[in-house]
Structure 1
């Protein structure tokens, strides 16, 4: 029996890959393409026409095959190319097991273009998406630092993040110059920790004034920058990634920045509307403006400080390994501390039954946090 016939016989009952440890999910035998010089494009592989072709290509859908592995094997020595870049040599008769999750994190694309170069003919190579029968097989985590045959491109992420920092510096300087008193109030840690709110303050009794709106917009810019910063460190902010698939070019990143800023601003304004509605239900209209002011004040202090800290760490330690937990833990601590601060601040203002106050804070603070963490994880 030939080598390719053995591959076909190792079906769902027997398994595929090294020691038949994987169940086949997709076989690319009928999905290969070759480059046709006549039409200057890739066309489906046809045995009668392309038997002498040494480079066979296929599109790999990463987003729909998360948690699976890519299985590659050749009968003779060959080479693996990903998006036209040489990644590794393929040794004859040896299976290469690549984690699709690692490919998804490295390339940050829903689909990759993979090419197997080697001996001519379809029978020389096997390409599968598989699922492990057990967790004993260690997969190869492919890094994007191998030999590449194309010129290395400078990261547009780094350029955008540098320009973004300058943009945030300009917006903060603008607010500091034109709204000096408000700026000092918003960025005062002492004022934030004070439980005696000045309800007659121009920032509290007019929550939708132009001053407050401008500082809310500035907070939206900071949040959008942080999301793109984290995304640039190969950490998925949201599992779906549906909002952040516009591309990695500078113009695309700029568009994503302003889109995220608009979404963040609408969420902040929507939260104020939610506070107004729930305040009316719980008869807490007197503390709504203070509550919203404390939210803006604490968020501006924390997220602006976090932006500066992450930027300093990133630009001084480019080889630092980033993880999702290292970013989630400070966020959880911040929101927990803010919830406690809001409870004390509201409790000191009005004689409210604890049950009402706990219900109110859970709906407007705790439940959105839990939902957000659920989607982030």
Structure 2
């Protein structure tokens, strides 16, 4: 038989005292974390910190009783699994924040710093980063959380990989590809200039582009699918593909899925460049087929070849000059801020200007009702532009 430690009256009295204690001294409850408690805690890194052990020559778990004087605490942060969340950092004394052994931010005492994990993912292009907080000794002065905002009033800190580094900066594989890509484009343009000199001078002539009197019997216009034209279309495909990879290298996503243009090895990027070049080539050649079909419906067969030639000629001039300018800016400046609007605006202006120019060219060559001509240009020029902007934005 089990002994009875408390009688029934004593148990009732004890229960009453516990209930009274809970009512008189309620436990404090943390409603949130971060600035003004505006974030719900998703993960606390308090038990995840590591310190460097000189004896083991490796990072070992941090134990407060054994390493009370440690000033630098480190941990791995999984970015890929915590998209759309924020990283919150705070120290009771002034300190410093390192990411992958590079100094990224000075931490002021008592101030919360909120970093968008999405921006970290775009900046470092790694599924995981190694984060170090350097400051006062011990763990009580440091707080690191992954949180979710209760509201959108707090503006996340967008972190760019352009701050002071305490180690030699490694070159991105994109830099290697962009240099090789420029040499490749120089080689293809040199080949065309040497072996197809007349066609090269014609395609890259601004004066010829702006001329409204197109020579229909010209070998470039009368045979749009000739070997010469196909080579220049292929060269334009290389330029467009290079431009896509260049934009992606500035942390501006060309595609919504990160499985496309998201690789980090040189051979992978070269493979994606080849795929993009093939897709661009098929698209440009498919446009001529679309022009033939739509032109047949509107009975405009006589201007199809001129339309295709003028569209190619303008695209070659614009995209070649744009790629050259962007490469010059990228290789001669280090503090340039790249944004989607800055790149989309000149492309949008070009396509609208080309649409108006093609209208003038076709109108001067063919006697056709404005309604038919406008409908034709909308289908083959304006609608693809609208669809492209829809996916880009």
TM-score if structure 1 supplies the norm length? 0.80
- The question of whether the paired residues in 2 share the 8 Å contact of 1:62 and 1:110 is answered with no
Q: Which has the higher Rg, Structure 1 or Structure 2?
A: 2
1:131 pairs, out of 146, 149, 157, with: 149
- The question of whether the paired residues in 1 share the 8 Å contact of 2:245 and 2:273 is answered with yes
Cα-to-partner distance string for 1:339-365 (whole Å, 9 max, x where unaligned)? 011111222222222222211211111
CA distance in 1, matches of 2:299, 2:42: 59
- The question of whether the paired residues in 2 share the 8 Å contact of 1:72 and 1:95 is answered with yes
Q: What does residue 353 of structure 1 align with?
A: 369
Q: What does residue 69 of structure 1 align with?
A: 86
CA distance in 2, matches of 1:96, 1:71: 6
Distance 1:24 1:281, change over 3 A: farther
1:57 pairs, out of 68, 72, 76, with: 76
CA distance in 2, matches of 1:371, 1:110: 31
2:336 pairs, out of 299, 307, 320, with: 320
CA distance in 2, matches of 1:313, 1:322: 11
Q: What does residue 333 of structure 1 align with?
A: 349
Which shifted more, 202-211 or 71-80?
71-80
Structure 1 gaps of 5+ residues are 1-7
- After TM superposition, list the pairs within 5 Å mapping 1:292-307 onto structure 2: 292-307=308-323
Distance 1:357 1:117, change over 3 A: same
CA distance in 1, matches of 2:229, 2:144: 61
Which shifted more, 214-223 or 146-155?
146-155
TM-score if structure 2 supplies the norm length? 0.77
1:201 pairs, out of 199, 218, 223, with: 218
- The question of whether the paired residues in 1 share the 8 Å contact of 2:40 and 2:148 is answered with yes
Q: 2:229 matched to 1:212?
A: yes
- The question of whether the paired residues in 1 share the 8 Å contact of 2:46 and 2:143 is answered with no
Distance 1:124 1:30, change over 3 A: closer
Which shifted more, 53-62 or 340-349?
53-62
1:186 pairs, out of 203, 214, 223, with: 203
Q: What does residue 303 of structure 2 align with?
A: 287
Structure 2 gaps of 5+ residues are 1-27
Q: What does residue 161 of structure 2 align with?
A: 144
- The question of whether the paired residues in 1 share the 8 Å contact of 2:101 and 2:132 is answered with no
Which shifted more, 112-121 or 147-156?
112-121
Corresponding residue SS for 1:321: coil
2:284 pairs, out of 260, 265, 268, with: 268
- The question of whether the paired residues in 2 share the 8 Å contact of 1:70 and 1:129 is answered with yes
2:247 pairs, out of 230, 233, 251, with: 230
Which shifted more, 142-151 or 116-125?
116-125
Which shifted more, 279-288 or 144-153?
144-153
How far off is 1:323 after superposition?
Answer: 2.9
What is the alpha-carbon root mean square deviation over aligned residues? 3.6
Cα-to-partner distance string for 1:250-292 (whole Å, 9 max, x where unaligned)? 3333223222211211211222222222222222222222111
- After TM superposition, list the pairs within 5 Å mapping 1:79-98 onto structure 2: 80-83=97-100, 85=102, 87-88=104-105, 94-98=111-115
